[in-house]
């Protein structure tokens, strides 16, 4: 079937399809965009319905079919988000919410844009047909402070490692998503620059069991100055796959982790041990009772009780960066750089009585409580 993207002028659509399909239709726009998606650290994208109502009317009046992308964006759960990248812009990993400012919001509720588009579509239905009634919005609820009474640092929750003279990528380790912890030993008693060549995508640097700093591919960061204590030093580097590029010529250049070499003061570091942390099942985390006093990336576990269930939004605006599971469901990533500060938790993943929550926090392990609110926060950027 012939289709076109990125054009919705009826004359141009028909001309291009006719030129490539023996002078005849059908005419179809495979992705007709009513707004756009978001990526970490950039403003939330919104487009007023009024900007598109006339264009939608014109396209349908011309007999052109469309796939509205997105009509309902929903949520990118777990680690499945994509990323933008080209030669003119930096790496831009997409956020967890795929709200998209679409006609249906992240929870599937009708928006003002939906109602205005509905009026246009109704005009173009066959005579005698009508659209069904619009369902009521799903109820929402808030959840008071949720505490955590179990914790374990990432360094105390490592699987069996794999040895290699040079760092191995996620793909070398047969791992698709999540994190890999890279460990090596170097001689201390000096100050120098640690350089991770072609880091993909985000790294937490630890020296002798303490977090020293981070590196962020979005910001084109690959180097950090370290002052090492005297004697043998354990260097741990936790690398997160923040999402693969999902279009364009870099689709086939998508390896993750430390994809080249690591240097300290210009000298390559060898003899590495890699620990894969795909985090595909939060039940595999071996928790300990109590909280943590370290500044390391930390897993936290808690329980909260509910007398009723409804949609809600986990508020992570005071936290740093990480992932949340509720009752074993991976809600996705959070990151206080924004614009998304909440994670959508549907009623279907909650239950009356006891509910379990697990958080993997990379940057602010001292925080030990959170809450949930009735509406999402999708438009706060912290620079």
Same domain, 270 and 321: no
pTM above 0.85, yes or no: yes
What pLDDT band is residue 6 in, cutting at 50, 70 and 90?
confident
Q: For residue 352, give Cα distances in angstroms to 14, 117, 197, 309, 348.
A: 55, 37, 49, 6, 11
Assigned domain for 128 exists: no
State residue 189 phi and psi, 5-degree precision.
Answer: 80, 30
Assigned domain for 137 exists: no
Same domain, 255 and 295: no
Residue 77 predicted with pLDDT over 90: yes
In the predicted model, what is the mean pLDDT of residues 327-351?
A: 98
Same domain, 148 and 297: yes
Residue 383 predicted with pLDDT over 80: no
Query: What is the span of the domain harbouring residue 211?
Result: 158-277
The per-residue pLDDT for 134 is: 97
Same domain, 329 and 250: no
Same domain, 243 and 331: no
Assigned domain for 136 exists: no
Assigned domain for 381 exists: no
Q: Distance (Å, rounded) from C-alpha 354 to C-alpha 72?
A: 31
Mean pLDDT for all residues in the chain: 96
Of the given ranges (85-89, 128-132, 315-319, 375-379), which has the lowest mean pLDDT? 85-89
The per-residue pLDDT for 1 is: 84
Same domain, 81 and 147: no
pLDDT one-digit tens code per residue, 87-146:
888 999 999 999 999 999 999 999 999 999 999 999 999 999 999 999 999 999 999 999
Same domain, 12 and 114: yes
- Cβ neighbours of 23 (radius 10 Å): 8
Same domain, 163 and 272: yes
Residue 170 predicted with pLDDT over 80: yes
Token pair, residue 341, equals 């500060």
**Residue among 382, 365, 380, 369 at smallest CA distance from 157:** 365
Which of 232, 248, 277 is the last residue before a domain boundary? 277
Same domain, 304 and 368: yes
pLDDT one-digit tens code per residue, 13-29:
999 999 988 887 899 99
The per-residue pLDDT for 262 is: 98
Q: For residue 181, give Cα distances in angstroms to 78, 175, 350, 379.
A: 19, 12, 32, 32
| CATH label of the domain that carries residue 250 | 2.60.120.260
The per-residue pLDDT for 86 is: 83
Residue 243 predicted with pLDDT over 90: yes
Which of 252, 277, 302 is the last residue before a domain boundary? 277
Q: In what order do the strands lie in the sheet with 262-264?
A: 223-227, 191-196, 262-264, 267-268
Same domain, 325 and 272: no
Of the given ranges (82-91, 181-190, 218-227, 236-245), which has the lowest mean pLDDT? 82-91
Q: Distance (Å, rounded) from C-alpha 193 to C-alpha 104?
A: 49
8 A C-beta contact, residue 155 and residue 277: no
Please tell me the total count of domains within the chain.
3
Assigned domain for 362 exists: yes
Q: For residue 268, give Cα distances in angstroms to 32, 44, 222.
A: 49, 41, 14
State residue 379 phi and psi, 5-degree precision.
Answer: -135, 30
Give, as one character, the DSSP assignment of residue 217: G
Which of 248, 277, 306 is the last residue before a domain boundary? 277
Assigned domain for 134 exists: no
Assigned domain for 367 exists: yes
Percent helix, strand, coil in the chain (nearest 5)?
15, 40, 50
Long-range Cβ contact pairs of 160-164 (< 8 A, separation 24 or more):
160/275, 161/273, 161/274, 161/275, 162/273, 162/274, 162/275, 162/276, 163/271, 163/272, 163/273, 163/274, 164/272, 164/273, 164/274
In the predicted model, what is the mean pLDDT of residues 152-174?
A: 97
Assigned domain for 187 exists: yes
Same domain, 244 and 312: no
Same domain, 62 and 170: no
């Amino acid at each position: 079937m012939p289709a076109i993207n990125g054009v919705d002028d009826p004359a141009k659509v028909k001309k291009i399809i006719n030129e490539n399909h023996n002078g005849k239709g059908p005419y179809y726009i495979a992705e007709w965009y009513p707004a756009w998606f978001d990526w970490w650290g950039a403003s939330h994208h919104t487009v007023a319905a009024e900007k598109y109502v006339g264009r939608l009317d014109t396209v349908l009046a011309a007999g052109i079919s469309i796939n509205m992308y997105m009509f309902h964006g929903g949520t990118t759960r777990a680690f499945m988000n994509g990323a933008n990248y080209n030669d003119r812009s930096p790496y831009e990993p997409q956020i967890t919410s795929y709200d998209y400012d679409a006609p249906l919001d992240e929870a599937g509720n009708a928006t003002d844009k939906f109602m205005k588009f509905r009026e246009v579509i109704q005009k173009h239905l066959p005579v005698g047909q009508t659209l069904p009634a619009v369902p009521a919005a799903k109820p929402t609820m808030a959840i008071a402070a949720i505490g955590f009474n179990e914790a374990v640092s990432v360094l105390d929750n490592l699987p069996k490692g794999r040895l290699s003279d040079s760092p191995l990528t996620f793909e070398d380790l047969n791992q698709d998503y999540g994190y890999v912890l890279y460990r090596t030993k170097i001689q201390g008693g000096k100050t120098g620059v640690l350089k991770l060549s072609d880091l993909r995508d985000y790294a937490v640097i630890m020296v002798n069991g303490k977090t020293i700093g981070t590196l962020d591919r979005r910001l084109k960061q690959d180097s950090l100055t370290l002052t090492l204590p005297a004697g043998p030093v354990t260097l741990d580097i936790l690398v997160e796959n923040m999402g693969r590029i999902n279009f364009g010529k870099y689709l086939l250049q998508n390896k993750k982790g430390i994809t080249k070499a690591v240097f300290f003061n210009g000298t390559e570091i060898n003899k590495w041990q890699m620990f894969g942390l795909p985090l595909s099942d939060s039940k595999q985390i071996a928790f300990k009772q109590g909280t943590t006093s370290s500044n390391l990336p930390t897993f936290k576990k808690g329980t909260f009780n509910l007398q009723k269930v409804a949609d809600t939004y986990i508020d992570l605006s005071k936290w740093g960066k990480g992932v949340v599971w509720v009752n074993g469901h991976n809600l996705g990533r959070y990151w206080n750089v924004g614009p998304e500060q909440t994670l959508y938790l549907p009623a279907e993943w909650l239950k009356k009585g006891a509910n379990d929550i697990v958080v993997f926090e990379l940057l602010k392990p001292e925080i030990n409580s959170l809450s949930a609110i009735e509406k999402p926060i999708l438009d706060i950027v912290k620079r």
